A and B are shown apart, each in its own frame.
Chain A
Amino acid sequence: MKRTLNMIGILVLGLVAMWPLSVGAQGRLNILCSPDPAWCEAVKQSFGKATGIQTEFVRLSSGAALARLRAEKGAPTFDVWFAGSGDSHWVAQADGLTEFFRPKAWGELRPQLTKAVDGHYIPLYTGLHGLGVNEKLLKEKNLPVPETWKDLGDPKYKGLVAMPNPNTSGTGYVLMTTIVQIYGDDPGFELLKAIHKNVAQYTRSGGDPSLLAGRGEVAIGVSFANDVVERGRKGFPIRFVAPKDGIGYEIGALSLVQGAANRESALRLIDWALEPENQKLGPQNGEVSIQSHSRTPIDPDVPRFEDVKLIAYDFGKYGTPAVRDGLIKRWTEQVFPLPR
């Protein structure tokens, strides 16, 4: 009996010891965070320290984040949607889930970006979309580096491709829209089917394919350039390749959630995130792309827009909810279930 009571005593002490000290915080902020979790962590720490606001985030890829906002419409748990590709933010604004406004720093943001977003979201960064290629593995297999999206559908790359699932990932969605914009709807879907046969793994998040390619699990990962550069910096043998038939790009976005409970804190975050000093956190934590403030220095490792063939990406069309949902549905029903 004594032993039992001792055990209970230890357990109670342990429980009490784990009780958190309540922190007196001025205000809270809940961030829906879509990019590399390291960037989310960095923002949470820096912003929290700079303002004293207790900041929490949940990391969800762009597609999943959109789904979450849709689910919580009217009573959102989040106050601000930080980063993630612009297509999903466009849809959110069209659906009435986010609120667009021009922040104080609007005039100082890069004009191409502010024009392209057409009043739907606040641009945060922009980066190229393409392939992350592990040349070592390809060389071992005596295969050439793919030059076009059509090459990606060639059966010689079977089992060597990784791409994100467009249902959850903005990166995957941009792949779909890029191919459809280059080749047209039906031929585009035929190409997607061909690519599907070569896919070894579908990932949930857009950052994973470049990691898989870097580790040598696959040879080619569909990815935004920032992820590829980041992996390269970490030491993985991976290089960014821009297919010659045209590539898409993303404008990373920042949006205030409609009906946010902590609106004041959210507005402070938005202003904070657009300052050049704080935009530098992005490239330091995995988002190696062009940040939206015109005075933020561009990292030399970022692939330049001038060196590649960009398609005229129709953000408006592919940000329309009906178009987006329809495309994803078509892919899920016609391409994904095919045996590979």
Chain B
Amino acid sequence: MRANTGAVWGAIGLLSFALGSWTRASGRAGPAVTGLALVLREGIPGGGLVLLVGLVLVVATGFALAGGGRPVGRVLAAVAGAGVLLAFVGVARAAGPAGWGALGTTASLVNLTGIGLARGRLVRGGGFVGGAILWVALLVVLFIVYPVVAILHASVASGGALTAGYLLRTLRSPVFLLLTHETLPRPAPVVALAGAGLGGLLAVAWGGVRRQPVRRTVRVAVTLAAIGAAAGLLVGARGALRNSLLLAVTVGLATTGLGLAFALLDARSRLWTRRLLGPLSLVPIITPAFVLGLAFIYMFGRRGSITHGLLGLDTGVFFGPLGVGIAQVMAFTPIAFLVLSGVVRSLDVALEEAAQTLRATPWILLRTVTGPLLVPGLANAMLLVMIESLADFGNPILLGGGTPFLATEVFLAIEGRFDPHEAAVYGVVLLALALALFLVQRRWLAGVSVVTVTGRPSGGRPVPLPRVADWSLTGLFVAYAALSALLYGSLFLGGFVRVWGIDHRLTTMHYRDMATAGLPVLLDTARLAAIAAVPAALLGFLIAYLTTRHRFLGRGALEFCALLSYALPGTVMGVGYILAFNQGGFKLTGTAAILVAAFVFRGMPVGLRSGIAALAQVDPALEEASALLRANVPATLRRVVLPLVLPALLTGFIYCFVRAVTAVSQVIFLVSPGHDLATVLLLSWAEYGHLGRGAALASVLVVFLAAVVLPVERFGRRESRPGPSAAI
């Protein structure tokens, strides 16, 4: 690194310190004041920390100017690194929110540390790489790790002391988990025992009939008994934990089954309906997960058009966990489909051909060859859907009828009771479940490809499905597609009908209401999402680049944390953000900035995945050639890599944008006067019964997103898609 880059950053830092505001003007902290002025005004007692930061900055600049030797570089890194830590502590302890001066000072210190690391040969690739690694690590720690730590802290700490009180109180609360009660028909442990017994008996019977060796029978008996016990417990108990788990398991099973059916159809069907499956996979991306729930109310309520109008039933059974489950199956099946279609397409056809030459019928082929090969993919899909189901907030709150679920209880604990400790405990449980599933998925199924592979599998054509299977699965798909079409159709129609179910006269009243109240909010949301999608895609790409092309200490941890944000439930992150960013220098609540931050870090994993996929298609030899010609890393990135990955970056940008617009579970905590979001508004209209307006807004939202996504899909069709990314 040439010496003057360090000097430039040092100069920027000193200027920010002297002229930029250390704290923004705010009601309580008073007017904005620059760092220098703060030091001069307060002297050592009040401004000591800030003074130290300033001194460190001067020293670091000096070292930067001093030259490019290795020991000098390491000293520079150490000094500037200490400065960064001090600056953070100073900002955290400040009375008011951090201003541009503080940000500029910290930024320059970080970059100086990066330059120092590069000069000191602790990181290879030059100052840019050093700085980039630090920045990425800093952002990930600040916006992903810190909120999680904040929520963990809130669940076990009160004031300054650690206490298990909140944990015990909430975990023992009957809303969380209820095992025995006089109104329950049978206590849950009894049902669990019955389930275990049943499982064990079945295993023993199977072992006896099939004449299996004793040890094997015992193993199977133990496994089946455990599964039986778990199932019994889920069925017999009540409470938020049980509801969420039961829902996740059933929805996971159902969507995996459907997804597999559709994936098989997509790859192997002989019927023309196969071509409809492509558009199906786009649908969950452009709809917030609860919009279908809204349509559900129209169709399947007690007076719903289907249940009452068509079938003449009179039942409210669809309001409640059953309705939530069906809505989730409708919303998440395309995720399972996307995962499984990649797996099915990449099956090695040669194995099947070999089985065929051994005279296997299509049924036996499916059962003994294709099936076992699919098991990892099935498990992968199921785990992904289970995480989405656990984290889903919109459907349970719209359709749940007040039944407690973990995600909704986190929200209600904050919104209804403002008990951050109780919310934190629910959040921690939800987090633990989602993390456990995520870790299982990574560990067990790390090798399974999730990105849709483009290109032909080796060998000949895949074996088509047996005719009976083909027809029945197609029937299933047609039913699913018809239901989907019905729900979306009722959504579009609902915006034009005066009062659904009561007064079917057509009207533009709802659209007019929506235009005054909802359209400005939608535009505002789109603006914020677009602003957030740029850093999201770039940050994701940068992390992808650093983790795939460079080696450094902590690379694995960085990659893990970045992907982690994909598994973190939105409600947990929402509570984490309001706990983490509510006071001191980090105060972001009540601004648009916190919404943008939430969007960026929700979208970042999407950018990361698309970045990894894009970089996989660029040969590292190109970058090596550029390095041989003495271009430094920024130049290589700019002139060699970026032009090649630009289409994928654009696609990533669009997906980040869409994910931001359709987010609801995290941002519902973060809206403030003047900073409302379309999905939150939609939810509140739906809840307060303004269904006509809600349907109008939902229709406009869906059409808008479709208009955004479709051209990009056509544009980027050659590039591999970034994988399933549902809107939560």
CA distance A203 to B399 in the complex (A): 10
CB-contacts of A290-340 with B (<8 A): 328, 332-333, 336-339
CA distance A272 to B574 in the complex (A): 36
Judge whether A201 and B319 touch: CB under 8 Å.
yes
Judge whether B316 and A159 touch: CB under 8 Å.
yes
Binds A, one of B439-447, B453-461, B667-675: B667-675
- Taking the closest CB of chain B, its distance from the CB of A171, in whole angstroms, is 13
Binds A, one of B362-370, B520-528, B606-614: B520-528
Q: Which residue from chain B places its CB closest to the CB of A234 in the assembled complex?
A: B499
Residues of A within 8 A of B184 (CB): 339
Q: Does B638 contact A (CB under 8 A)?
A: no
User: With A336-B175, A337-B178, A337-B239 given, is the CB distance from A71 to B418 under 8 Å?
Assistant: yes
- The interface residues of chain A, by DSSP majority, are classed as mixed
CA distance A30 to B178 in the complex (A): 42
Quick one: which of A59, A215, A235, A339 contacts B238, CB cutoff 8 A?
Answer: A339
Q: Does A36 contact B (CB under 8 A)?
A: yes
Judge whether A37 and B181 touch: CB under 8 Å.
no
Judge whether A337 and B174 touch: CB under 8 Å.
yes
Q: Does B45 contact A (CB under 8 A)?
A: no
Q: Does B27 contact A (CB under 8 A)?
A: yes
User: With A71-B418, A337-B173, A337-B238 given, is the CB distance from A20 to B527 under 8 Å?
Assistant: yes
Binds A, one of B256-264, B376-384, B686-694: B686-694
Q: Does B62 contact A (CB under 8 A)?
A: no
Quick one: which of B412, B502, B530 contacts A15, CB cutoff 8 A?
Answer: B530
Quick one: which of A70, A217, A339 contacts B319, CB cutoff 8 A?
Answer: A217
Q: Which of A58, A167, A237 has the most CB of B within 10 A?
A: A58
Q: Does A130 contact B (CB under 8 A)?
A: no
CA distance A70 to B415 in the complex (A): 11
Judge whether A20 and B524 touch: CB under 8 Å.
yes
Q: Does A43 contact B (CB under 8 A)?
A: no
CA distance A166 to B186 in the complex (A): 29
CA distance A217 to B302 in the complex (A): 5
Cβ-Cβ contact count across A and B, 8 Å cutoff: 156
Tally A residues with Cβ within 8 Å of B.
Answer: 67
CB-contacts of B90-123 with A (<8 A): none
Binds B, one of A2-10, A120-128, A180-188: A2-10
CA distance A20 to B592 in the complex (A): 14
Quick one: which of B415, B531, B715 contacts A7, CB cutoff 8 A?
Answer: B715
Quick one: which of A3, A18, A332 contacts B526, CB cutoff 8 A?
Answer: A18
Q: Which residue from chain A places its CB closest to the CB of B517 in the assembled complex?
A: A41
Residues of B within 8 A of A168 (CB): 412, 415-416
Judge whether A208 and B183 touch: CB under 8 Å.
no
B580-601 contact mask (Cβ, 8 Å, vs A): 1 or 0: 0000000000100000000000
Residues of A within 8 A of B590 (CB): 77
A219-261 contact mask (Cβ, 8 Å, vs B): 1 or 0: 0000000000000001111000000000000000000000001
List 12 extra interface pairs beyond A204-B687, A261-B27, A337-B404, CB under 8 A: A1-B643, A3-B715, A11-B650, A30-B673, A60-B415, A77-B672, A202-B402, A204-B412, A235-B498, A236-B502, A337-B239, A338-B181
CA distance A327 to B514 in the complex (A): 39
CA distance A78 to B523 in the complex (A): 24
Q: Which residue from chain A places its CB closest to the CB of B408 in the assembled complex?
A: A204
Q: Which of B415, B498, B502, B685 has the most CB of A within 10 A?
A: B415
Q: Does A191 contact B (CB under 8 A)?
A: no
Residues of B within 8 A of A78 (CB): 673
